[in-house]
Chains A and B, each alone.
Chain A
Amino acid sequence: MPDDEIQVTEPLTSTTSEGQDIRPGELLVPEDTYLTAGVHIGTQQKSASMRHFVFKIRYDGLYVLDIKETDRRIRLAAQFLARFPPDKILAVSQRQYGQKPVRIFAKTIGAVSFSERFVPGSLTNPNLAEYIEPKVLMVTDPATDMQGLSEAVSVGIPVVGLCDVNNETRNVDLVIPCNNKGRVSLATIYWLLGREVLRARSGSEAEPAYPLTIEDFQAAL
C-alpha cells in the first residue's frame, strides 16, 4: 500500500444503529456462564487505561471487571470484525491457553490464525514465507502478543485486543475487557466472538448454525 493512502473497509452489511443491535439488560449468554468461566476475574494490579472497565475491588485486592461492558464490547468487536473480509482477519495468541481457542475461532469464521510463534516480519517482510497482509488484527494479550501488535502498528491496521485489568491498552483500537489468562475464560470469549461474527455476517437476529460448544474451544489441561 502506498504510504500516502490508507485502507478503510466499507461495511458488508447494512448499517444499524447501536440501539437496534445492543439490547440493554440482555446478555449474550446467561450471567452464570460468564461468572463460572471467570470472565470477570481481573488481577491485583490495575493499569490506568483499564480503570473504566473495573466494576469493583474484592476484599483481597482483586479487581473485578464489569460483565455488562464485556458483553457489550464482544458485540461491538463481532460487528467490527464482520465488516472485514474473512481471510483478511488475523487472530494471534502466544498464550498457551489461547492457542486452541484462536485456532478454532479462526477456522469458524474463515480467518487466519498464528497460534504459535509469531515470526517477526510476518506482516512487514514480503520475502518471508509467512508473509500475509491482513486488514485487522485480533490479539489475545497485548503484552504477550507484542510482536504482532508492533507490526500491526507499522503497517497501519486496526487492532482488537482482549485486555485484562493489568494490561496497557496502547496501540489497541478496540478493547474487550476480560480475563485473558484463564483457560475457560478464553474459550468462552472466543466461542462468543465466533458466534456473534457469524450472526453479524448473516445480518439476522436468528440463531446461526453454530454446533460448537465452549468445551470445544477449551485448551487441554
Chain B
Amino acid sequence: MIARADLRCTSCGRGLAGRGATAFLCPSCGVETIGRDARCRDQSVPYKCKNCGFVGP
C-alpha cells in the first residue's frame, strides 16, 4: 500500500486524491509506479515511464 498523498500523476503532476485516480507499475519495465489522476485518465493524456521511456496508454 502506498498513501495517495505520496503519489502524483505522471502526466500532470497533480496529487492522486479523490475518485477516479489509479496507480500501477509500468507495463513495460514493472519498476516505476505510474500515477494517473481522474482528469488525465478521462482525457487520455499520455504518460511516460521515467525508467524505460514507455509511453501510454
Contacts and interface: CB of A to CB of B under 8 A. Distances in A.
- In order of increasing CB-CB distance, the 7 nearest A-B pairs are A80-B27, A158-B24, A11-B30, A76-B27, A169-B44, A49-B44, A156-B22
Interface in B25-57: 25, 27-31, 33-34, 36, 38, 41-44, 52, 54, 56-57
Given A5-B4, A6-B7, A170 B41 contact: yes
Interface in A1-34: 3-11, 15, 17-18
B20 interface: yes
A172 to B, nearest CB: 5
B20 A156 contact: yes
B51 to A, nearest CB: 9
Q: Is the interface of A mostly helix, strand, loop or mixed?
A: loop
18 contacts: A5-B2, A5-B3, A6-B3, A6-B7, A15-B30, A15-B31, A17-B52, A49-B44, A76-B54, A80-B24, A83-B25, A153-B22, A153-B38, A169-B44, A170-B42, A171-B42, A172-B44, A174-B27
Interface of B: 1-5, 7, 16, 19-25, 27-31, 33-34, 36, 38, 41-44, 52, 54, 56-57
A49 B44 CA distance: 7
Contact of A6 (B2, B42, B57): B2
Interface residues of A, number: 32
Contacts of B5: 4
A168 B38 CA distance: 16
A112 interface: no
A173 interface: yes
A77 interface: yes
A156 B30 contact: no
Interface string A76-88: 1101100100000
A173 B4 contact: no
